[in-house]
Structure 1
Amino acid sequence: MSFLSAQDMGQAAKSARTVVISGVPDGVLSNDVMSDILVIHFQKAKNNGGDVEEVKYPTTEQGVAYITFEDPGVAESVLQKNEHRLEDRRLPRYYPLKVSPYCENVFSSVTAVLDMSVFRDKFVLEDLIQELKKKNTALRFGSLQPNGHIPVQGSFPAIKWLRDFLLLKAKSLSEDKKEESKSHQRPKKRLQKRRLTREVNDFVRDAEGEKQEVVLDTDIYLYMKHFFFKELLTNTDVVISNITDGDITTLHLQRGRSRRDAGQVLRVKEKIENQSVRLLKSLRKERIDLERCTRDKKKCRSVCESVKSRYPDVLVIPYDTHIDVIGSSSTVFKFTQEVNKKIQSLFQNR
């Protein structure tokens, strides 16, 4: 299992200095002039800004720009400012901007709880965690609990890397224990034969592609399930089950009753992985807080549903305390802006 390369670490460091800007007015001025205006805005002290290293505008998404600062502390400071208004004498009016953290995936943070107790016999857990912290600085670990559980937070790719690495570690330890037990125990031949037969059959099925596993960010999974699963599973006999553990969802793929095509499970897995990579690069999530809708949460959800009819590519996920909105940066920005205005108007007219 390889750790993050120097190039990956460099990219991660740059990501920490980069923010995503939504709401940039398209077509008002030339792209070069708009880039200059963005630089001026994000260099001003009143906007919590600082020295800008790079501006990417225009991008593949309408109204979206990427600003990279020389100092990661400036990026954090810019994100903490409640309101950004793009103003310049060359603009016909001011434009509100939405500033979000940049990440390689849809969300800046994924949280998981790891059970490290399996490693107690072979490692000092505190030492193992310190080693992981050094190898992958994109991860943030909480306090190690007496039962061996520890919360960890980071980008989805970093969490997935950690999961895969620890699974390989656990598998290696399990194989070591099996080897040790062989020299101390007399195996029951019948039970051993059945177990060996089952393991061989499982290996053959996996080699043929009958069983596969895919790990996804939970919200990426929900978006894919809503918009893409029907297309991905067309003309296939693949059964998908899922296990969701907070921000992580594991898909288990296996072949159905048909015996005609042994490789279709593997092909569906590759399609899901390829689609998830595309979505990780393009999607963003915004949260609409329902605290102000204490007595009228139903009306606020109705406002979301009415606005959604004009944004077919947006996924709206309602919860008791908030509503998550997932889509492209520009679309999510426009959607949440419209919803917030309607909710504000709803309470002003009461």
Structure 2
Amino acid sequence: MLRDTGAHFGTGCGGASIVTALAKQPDAQTDLTERLSRPRTPIACMLAERSILLCVGEAFSNEDAITVPVRIGSQACELHLSPALVAWLQEPLGLEGALVDEEPPQRALLLELASLDLLRLLEKHLGQDIRFGECAEADTRVAVDLAIAAGGRSLALRLELTQPLAEAWADFLDRIQPPDLSGLAAELVIEAGSQDLSIDELASLRPGDIVMLASQRPTAGVDGKLVAPVRRQSDGFELGGGFAPRARRAMVGSLQGSQNADSGDAEHILHVVFEFARTTMTLAQLDELKPGQHLPLSCTDETGVDIVVENRRVGRGELVMIGMGMGVRIVHLLPAAPMWNSQTS
């Protein structure tokens, strides 16, 4: 910061490392029920010696359902079959009577026999044996509704799996059919620059103070993970190159973490970003951006920037040249006391 004749260029500017992988990891907080019921393309496989499509997320009715205890490895589960599906599975067995009329142990054994082709495939993927008719109480079960599409008919069933097996099933579905992320929203931010400041420095900022920028080149950032150069135009910005992983800053903490720190941690570092503009785009729209393309946001103020800390706008500033460097003069700060003030009281 520049105040009177003193100058401070921020701390924690060096030691950056490059993020080598930006692949979006599955959100651990994503609701398991949502993952299990997410629309999926039907899965082609064999069941009862016939080609079928396994459809995920079909609504199941418990009315007249046949319940079969199932053990997968050491975990107790249940299978609920519609009478129509039981009759369909019975066809290759050549039984004289109706399978639904058999005693539960015999019925389970015959259903396992009719389903061997699919069960062997599942056992290979799971690495565990599957046995019908062996039962025990499970602590918690998660319902998975499915349907068998065969011969123009939809035959419903429900699996009640333990939590670990339900998560393994969801992981399997996500692996063979990754969720479509193209419609997810991301923040495209045009940055004039940034600087890392301590909590004390942030709390002491006043209108007229100047914060020097670590870089003088404007960039476009996506959710803080990707960055690309931009060029200033009369009516906004154009993309100056492709997106690449953003360098991860060393020594820079979070505001939340600083609130949990001891009172002596006044030198805890926060990242301050100076933004020209921002907009929300889908990942599909971002994928379509090409170098030289005009970015879809308006910015007519050539020097005005928002002062942002952890995605929270805390004030307004203007770009100024200081010798060979670029800085931001604080124009005003929001009247609400910043959260970090409590750290210096």
Shorter chain as denominator, the TM-score bin is under 0.3
User: Larger helix proportion, structure 1 or 2?
Assistant: 1
TM-score, normalized by length of structure 2? 0.19
Q: More strand per residue: 1 or 2?
A: 2
